[in-house]
Amino acid sequence: MATYTRGCIFNTDETGVYFDESPGLIIAERGKRGSTKIKGKKRSFRATVLLAIAADGTKLPPLVVFKATSGDTVEDSFFYYPKGAFYAVQQNAWMDMDVWKEAVIEGVWADYCNSEDREPLALYVDNFKSHVSDESIDGLAAYGTEVVPLPPNTTAVLQPLEVGLMEPFKMRLRTLALSAEIEAASGESAEGEPRKSLRERLLRMRKMSSEEKRRAVAKKVIQAWGSISESNVRKAWIKSELYTQATE
């Protein structure tokens, strides 16, 4: 492997996120006996988020993959989704070769590489089939990028995203989800309408449409990723010791 500068060494990986990221709650209205409960920890409406970082602290916009069929109306609505992320669909909200090729290589990665003249790049990935396939290697090579697979069973100690960033990212998502639930539970009714009971407000929150949930997930992902600083990213690389190995 060639020697690369800090800003040219990248790591990317995916993680699952949920609309219902917050822990279970027991909520009671002030002045009333008993409680309205959200039992256990509900985890529904899954999406996949791909994150990418460089050793100099650079963060690329996240890619959010939602459950839908390619070509349907969901993709048409992405134009109106929160700015600051890329969006894609897959029938199970998973990363597969089509999403990797069309949304990652020709989307996130192409956008970064084409934004200005880039030096040769290295991209560290795990051994997921889509990441290390010949099609992936050739596709990324077209953008001056060398794919560097990490040894099997080493991502927990070598991959910067896994070592230092996925946990705080997911914690921030949970905090945002909890804040959204509390805000919805305490929300005011429209002018002239009687205030709805706590149970009614919670049920309304649980009955949000798929479109509303997609937009909510997108917003939280962008906010959570935005809370990760360049310093956090650099520290994750140092903690993983991958940068030292890559530049030796």
Band (242; pLDDT cuts 50, 70, 90): confident
Residue 15 pairs in a beta bridge with 49
Domain ranges of the chain: 6-247
Average pLDDT, the chain: 86
In the prediction, which pLDDT does 27 show?
Answer: 47
Q: Directed axis angle between helix 166-185 and helix 210-226, to 10°?
A: 130
Q: Is the pLDDT of residue 195 over 90?
A: no
What would the mean pLDDT of 15-27 be, rounded to a whole number? 70
Dmax (CA) for the chain in angstroms is 69
Concatenate the DSSP letters of all residues of 205-218 into one string: HHT--HHHHHHHHH
Q: Is the pLDDT of residue 6 over 60?
A: yes
Residues 6+ positions from 48 with CB-CB distance below 8 Å: 14, 15, 16, 17, 64, 65, 90, 93, 94, 95
Domain 6-247 is in which class?
alpha beta
What would the mean pLDDT of 50-74 be, rounded to a whole number? 95
Among candidates 12, 7, 15, 36, which has minimal Cα distance to 24? 36
Its pTM stands at 0.85
Among candidates 95, 15, 112, 106, which has minimal Cα distance to 61? 112
